[in-house]
A and B are shown apart, each in its own frame.
Chain A
Amino acid sequence: MMDQKQLLEITEQYLKGELSADEKALFEEMRTKTPTADQFVVEHQFFITELDKYADLKRFKANLYDIHHTMKENGEIAEVKTQDRAKIIKFWDKYRRTIAVAASIAGLTALMISGITVAFAPKTPLADIEELRRKVSKLEVKTNKQDLQLKSVRQKIEPGVNVSFGGSSFLIDAKGYLVTSAHVVHNAERIFVQNNKGQDFMAEIVLTDTQHDLAILKITDEDYKPSNNIPYSFSKKKVASIAEPVFTLGFPKDEIVYGEGYLSSVTGLLGDTMSTQITIPANPGNSGGPVLNHNGEVIGILNARQTTAEGVVFAIKSKYIYNAIDSLKRLDSSKIVHLPTNSTIRNLNRVDQVNKIQNCIYMVKVVMKK
């Protein structure tokens, strides 16, 4: 009885056909007599076939590998010209889904945030809020007869035109840019502004920011002389503090009216951070007027009062004027507004301050769209 090693050796020789005729006959005789040996041969034959297939394919693959590399080295395989472009495209294609998913999530998040903001933001004007634009009544006709006659030479507002609403505005650039509340000029067909001497000037809206209730007007009238310097200033960084004394000038009637008060809360109605709360006597017509501190710095634009409480008035923070001016610049590069940054009335007493300021405060008269 031969051992496994010898059996393997003879089996391999047998399978390769290396045995002599006699040896082959002997081997086959043994296979028929010993089933285990026969099974071994069958099994080994199968195994060797598989091993041969493996060896054959491995040799072929090695050959392919060699050929590819020699050809590449000899420059027989063309370089791919579009490789760089292909890389970008590949990157895009590979991450297209990821990018799309990320973008949708970002979009949804943005929508959700803005939705939440809208849902929780205080809705002005609420029922208990009154925008302080003034209904210009027929009483206006009663204005100073002498004044009327003086103006009749150059009547801007034709008789019969119904000036229906009014408010206040103030210069932010001596070129003729004024700021007022957006609701004052809402639905306006034509706008006139009147200075404290009673002169009317044609003006147009160059920007409205209804979110912050701001509008920027430009005096388009030829009669307007951009002469006077603006005495007050705008502070971008300065945060007004509570209890700070403030004053305002506006047109709740046909003559300019001075009002004095204090900053009562740094936020507006229901915690609205866009505005501040001040306690000041204000009436319809004061909308769009400036709220100034004792240094002559504009801290806000008066826009509404609470009807359910006495003396509670809200003013839009002045920093939104900066934002409005920026968006105006983006909208139309020719419209560059320079806000005055130095208050020239800082050390004056209130009477002198107001005297200088009142030349820059304009009444806004609106002719409504039919």
Chain B
Amino acid sequence: MSNYFKEAELLKGLSLNEKESIEQIYKDNYGIIQQLVINNNGSEDDARDVFQEALIVLYQNAKKDDFQLNCQIKTYLYSVCRRLWLKKLQYNKRFDVLVDNQEEVVPTEEDLEVHQKLDAQYGVMKLAMGKIGEPCKSLLEAFYVHHKNMQDIASFFGYTNADNAKTQKYKCLMRLKKLFFAQYKNAK
């Protein structure tokens, strides 16, 4: 299989959140990124955070129907990570020149802007989720994030039947909606 198809397959897998593809991308790229971050005053944790954020950027892009990657995954991830880490350094008032040996870098500004918007939206929902408290949070996440059915949720959370669980879920959802929209207007 040619390199092109291999990369397309990996991207497809990534867009579907498939473990094997993500693992492969991880194996192919993590070392370089870790080196980049650590060579430039970062820690192992910094390297992980930067790399995972870059993977999220790629994931969000790969899910778009019209997405076309015009370079290798490696180049793209490296470019995004480089940009992210530079931003982080600047945020920490460190105005350094990055030490790196890979010359090929593609522009990633636009993708990062989109990513930032998505991240902000994610943040709004996360904040609302954080505010509703337990068991609401776990209950709603079981239903909406992990797609458990009402029967399982009822037995797991100790409700006598699915209807009771449904009532509880309704109450929780209303609260979440209220918090979310309040947060959403604040963010606007």
Contacts and interface: CB of A to CB of B under 8 A. Distances in A.
Interface in A53-79: 53-61, 63-64, 66-68, 71, 76-78
A60 B17 contact: yes
Contacts of B125: 50-51, 53-54
Contact of B180 (A47, A60, A78): A47
Interface string B69-88: 00000000000000000000
Contacts, number: 87
A58 B145 contact: yes
A90 interface: yes
Contact of B22 (A5, A50, A67): A67
Nearest to B166: A9
Interface in B138-175: 141, 144-146, 166-167, 170, 173-174
B52 A64 contact: yes
Interface residues of A, number: 35
Contacts of B30: 71, 77
Interface in A85-131: 86, 89-90, 93
A8 interface: yes
B26 A71 contact: yes
Contacts of A9: 166, 170
A86 B34 contact: no
A91 to B, nearest CB: 10
B34 A63 contact: no
Interface in B103-143: 118, 121-122, 124-126, 129, 141
Interface in B38-77: 38, 41, 43-44, 48, 52, 55-56, 59
A53 B144 contact: no
A52 interface: yes
Mostly, the A contact residues are helix
B146 to A, nearest CB: 8
A82 interface: yes
B188 interface: no
A85 B162 CA distance: 58
A66 B17 CA distance: 12
A66 B121 CA distance: 24
Interface in B170-184: 170, 173-174, 177, 180-181
Nearest to A44: B177
Nearest to A79: B44
A63 B41 contact: no
A5 B167 contact: yes
B144 A52 contact: yes
Interface of B: 17, 19, 22-23, 26-27, 30-31, 34, 38, 41, 43-44, 48, 52, 55-56, 59, 94, 118, 121-122, 124-126, 129, 141, 144-146, 166-167, 170, 173-174, 177, 180-181
9 contacts: A5-B167, A9-B166, A51-B125, A53-B122, A53-B125, A66-B19, A71-B23, A83-B44, A86-B43
